[in-house]
Structure 1
Amino acid sequence: MRNSSDYDAIIVGAGPTGLAAALAVAQSDLRVALIAAPHNPAATGADTRTAALFKNSLTLLSNIGAWTACEPASAPLNAIRLIDDTGALLRAPEVVFQASEIGHDLFGYNVPQQALVAALRQAAAGFGHGLTVIESAGAQDIAVDADRASLTLAEGQTLTTQLIIGADGRRSICRHAAGIATASHTYNQAALACTFKHAVPHHGISTEFHRRAGPMTTVPMPGRASSLIWVEHPDVAHRLASISAADFLHTLEDNLQGLLGKLSDLGPRVVFPLSMMSSESMGRNRIALVGEAAHVAPPIGAQGLNLSFRDIATLADILHTAKLEKQDLGSDDLLRRYDNARHGDVNSRARAVDLLNYSLTSQLIPVQLLRGAGVHALKALSPLRRRIMAAGLAPAGDPPPLMREADTRDATFASRRTTL
């Protein structure tokens, strides 16, 4: 008889990535525990960050029962506009990517982090006996042997499992326990994030100004409101965060070149340094890594949480198959399959984000000319533009089952059952 503290999988970390991972893995009738810090509604309510989620990520949220609750607070993304504000020798033309060009009604939605976390928590609370949420001050020790992994909480309780899923961020204790090394570097840049209201409608268009210090991006929110990610030199970003709201809005109006008209209702401003981190492996020693425990990229191109959700959907699919085949859920072979499945997507997007950032900040004339010529090509060549749009939304090939519509997903799962 299995002990009540014994699980098929334990997820450490209860941000959006950890919550979504717990719900996704529990879909396969696995006994799952989610280790979460005690819920603090006041702290959650102070979070004004948003995430631009592409359609596959929204399908995942729908399939794990969280999208309906957070959709009303979110805004559709119909188009993406690029504006060259670098002052380069070859000025690139304005380019607008329309979702309709690749057969989509929209690219995705801009989702407030507060609404997303609340929806995921609600789905976890209502999931049933297969998913247990354990509030704890944190994991203090992780031990791994040939057959099981054990996790000791700050409160002294020890849990055992076949697999630990680390969703505990860039300072992951799970990654440390697995012995997985990382490569990282920091940029001489910082991002300022906030929300604001404006007089001119955004029409569902996200606008990215390409500037010498880095991109400045406005992303639609419901009504006449937008979220902002403004990349600058760290000193400039901190100065912008410290000036009065009126002075900041006036400065932002100037930098937006009147695009959204008169600005008002500035939300809290948060500044965070830009960095890049990649893990040498996505899993080892009965520990799988998802989200920022495995990879960190600057907030450019809306890759962060979309990458994390693809980690989750891929891992959940591999675990679903392993359960049907009665395999060890924490085996070296399973973790290698997960690493192989995610390695290319994660690394290629990290390189693309790094290259785009470099092309904006480089003082080299040839680099500036190449970037300008590339944008001219995107403007002129619709097949190239469509290819870039499709690649930006998701890697080539079929998405994991949890990122497909319900009827397709269920057919995939059913076919597997009949062939085992």
Structure 2
Amino acid sequence: MTQVEVAVIGGGLAGMIAAVAFARGGRKVALVAPPHAASDRRTTALMEQSIRFLERLALWEKIAPSAAPLATMQIIDGTKRLLRAPTVAFRSAEIGLNAFGYNMPNQSLLDVLAEAVASEGNLTRYAANASTVSIGKTGVTIALDNGEAIEADFVVGADGRRSTVREAAGIGVRTWSYPQSAMVLNFSHSLPHQNVSTEFHTESGPFTQVPLPNNRSSLVWVQQPGDAEANAAKTLEDLGRAVEERMQSMLGTVTVEDSVQVWPLSGMTASRFGKGRVCLIGEAAHVFPPIGAQGLNLSLRDIMALTDILCGGGDQPIGASAGDRFDRRRRTDILSRTASVDLLNRSLLSDFLPVQVLRAAGLHLLSSIPPLRNIAMREGIEPGGSLRALPAMLREKLRR
């Protein structure tokens, strides 16, 4: 039986980044993850805090050529309701950054991470599934479906919504669904995007364009399920015209690439994010709609916190309460982000006038009050960042 300090179950983006981070933090790591069956044509937007973490792991330099900066993020009220919100533009230069973050193809991330996993001396990958996970007071035993077994001091569940690790730990979940589906695709366009990401708020949900390198962008179009199915059945030419019309031809002629996918929207939150010698990250812990580029960024904050807990003590053994420490440390961020994304999404669907008033008033305040917009931008890329930056902002105001 193989002995390791940390076993990571799950080989998606969160699982591979976690395994590399723990290994480079000095722990002996096993990554239990079968090969990916197909290429991933989706894209991911990572905010500046996440990019800094990838830099510390010496990964960003290889990812950067495939990424496009997000210098401006604007929100446009695309509803036809009587009460509409003003357009709000968030510019990274307002908070001293060249970009809020970068958008990149998932496949580029996966390729760089697979190379890092293969070359990391402290890390062994097992191309198998975990069939059973047995959690004890002194360690965790993982039986693989290829007949091998691993003994670990600590196990990290990065194995998705139907997590084997979560089930073995007896951690329950709260789930919910939305009357929406997300259409995900990439497209080229005749006009340059100028590193601007645009989110149209519509009655069915957000329609969000995010830049890719050159004259290409990715799109997440949240629609009613029937509309999503009808649009997905269109030819690429007809779908391109529909996308161009919804975008008010802001990027000129649109050509949709052969990568259209439709996903029903739902949410899930685990009742705990860790206990004892177990913790959950990524979609084993939290799932919510693809709004505001929060998904993988939230998972990376999980990994940053867990790296501090597991690797911050040098060569000290991993404590039996590491999972409980992780749960306490991550609970506020996860629950607050989940609630805010859920509230924004439901506010777009609501025809209740007071809800529309509050949403429009909030966007109006962000548009007209720069200090408030500054705080919102800093919180968007790094929770608590606005509070840390507040003294410097006050000193700058006093100097002026």
Q: TM-score range by the shorter chain?
A: over 0.9
Q: 1:2-401 alignment to 2 at 5 Å?
A: 5-40=2-37, 43-44=38-39, 47-128=40-121, 130-136=122-128, 138-324=129-315, 326-329=316-319, 331-332=320-321, 334-396=322-384
- Which residue does 1:410 correspond to in 2? none
What amino acid does structure 1 have at the position aligned with 2:126?
Answer: I
- Which residue does 1:415 correspond to in 2? none
What amino acid does structure 2 have at the position aligned with 1:6?
Answer: Q
Q: CA separation in 1, counterparts of 2:364 and 2:253?
A: 31
Structure 1-normalised TM-score? Answer: 0.90
Q: CA deviation at 1:89?
A: 2.0
**More divergent stretch after superposition (185-194 vs 24-33):** 24-33
Equivalent pair of 2:310/2:318 in contact (CA under 8 Å): no
Q: Deviations over 1:241-279 (max 9, x none)?
A: 111111111111111111111111423110001111111
Q: CA deviation at 1:398?
A: 11
Task: Sort the Cα spacing of 1:260 and 1:336 in 2 relative to 1 into closer, same or farther, 3 A.
Answer: same
Q: Deviations over 1:269-324 (max 9, x none)?
A: 10001111111111124211111110001000000000001101110111112444
Q: CA deviation at 1:82?
A: 0.6
Match of 1:390, SS state, is helix
Equivalent pair of 1:65/1:123 in contact (CA under 8 Å): no
Q: Deviations over 1:23-54 (max 9, x none)?
A: 111122111010111355xx12xx21001100
Match of 2:298, SS state, is helix
Equivalent pair of 2:72/2:92 in contact (CA under 8 Å): yes
Structure 2-normalised TM-score? Answer: 0.94
Q: CA separation in 2, counterparts of 1:322 and 1:272?
A: 42
Q: CA separation in 2, counterparts of 1:284 and 1:178?
A: 8
What amino acid does structure 2 have at the position aligned with 1:240?
Answer: N
Between the aligned residues of both structures, percent identity stands at 41
Q: CA separation in 2, counterparts of 1:107 and 1:397?
A: 13
Q: CA deviation at 1:177?
A: 0.6
Q: CA separation in 1, counterparts of 2:50 and 2:250?
A: 29
Q: CA separation in 2, counterparts of 1:267 and 1:305?
A: 24
What amino acid does structure 2 have at the position aligned with 1:111?
Answer: M
Equivalent pair of 1:193/1:271 in contact (CA under 8 Å): yes
Equivalent pair of 1:9/1:30 in contact (CA under 8 Å): yes
Q: CA deviation at 1:56?
A: 1.2
Q: CA deviation at 1:397?
A: 5.5
Task: Sort the Cα spacing of 1:285 and 1:69 in 2 relative to 1 into closer, same or farther, 3 A.
Answer: same
Equivalent pair of 1:9/1:162 in contact (CA under 8 Å): yes
Paired residues in the alignment total 387
Root-mean-square deviation over aligned CA pairs = 1.5
Match of 1:215, SS state, is strand
Q: CA separation in 2, counterparts of 1:219 and 1:147?
A: 46
Equivalent pair of 2:187/2:216 in contact (CA under 8 Å): yes
Q: CA separation in 2, counterparts of 1:125 and 1:241?
A: 37
Task: Sort the Cα spacing of 1:335 and 1:300 in 2 relative to 1 into closer, same or farther, 3 A.
Answer: same
Q: CA separation in 2, counterparts of 1:394 and 1:278?
A: 21
Task: Sort the Cα spacing of 1:91 and 1:265 in 2 relative to 1 into closer, same or farther, 3 A.
Answer: closer
Task: Sort the Cα spacing of 1:341 and 1:285 in 2 relative to 1 into closer, same or farther, 3 A.
Answer: closer
Match of 1:56, SS state, is helix
Equivalent pair of 1:86/1:211 in contact (CA under 8 Å): yes
Task: Sort the Cα spacing of 1:373 and 1:172 in 2 relative to 1 into closer, same or farther, 3 A.
Answer: same
Equivalent pair of 1:152/1:159 in contact (CA under 8 Å): yes
Match of 1:346, SS state, is helix
- Which residue does 2:397 correspond to in 1? none
Match of 2:53, SS state, is helix
Match of 2:205, SS state, is coil
Match of 2:45, SS state, is strand
* Uncovered stretches (5+) of structure 1, i.e. residues with no partner: 400-420
Q: CA deviation at 1:377?
A: 1.0
What amino acid does structure 2 have at the position aligned with 1:243?
Answer: K
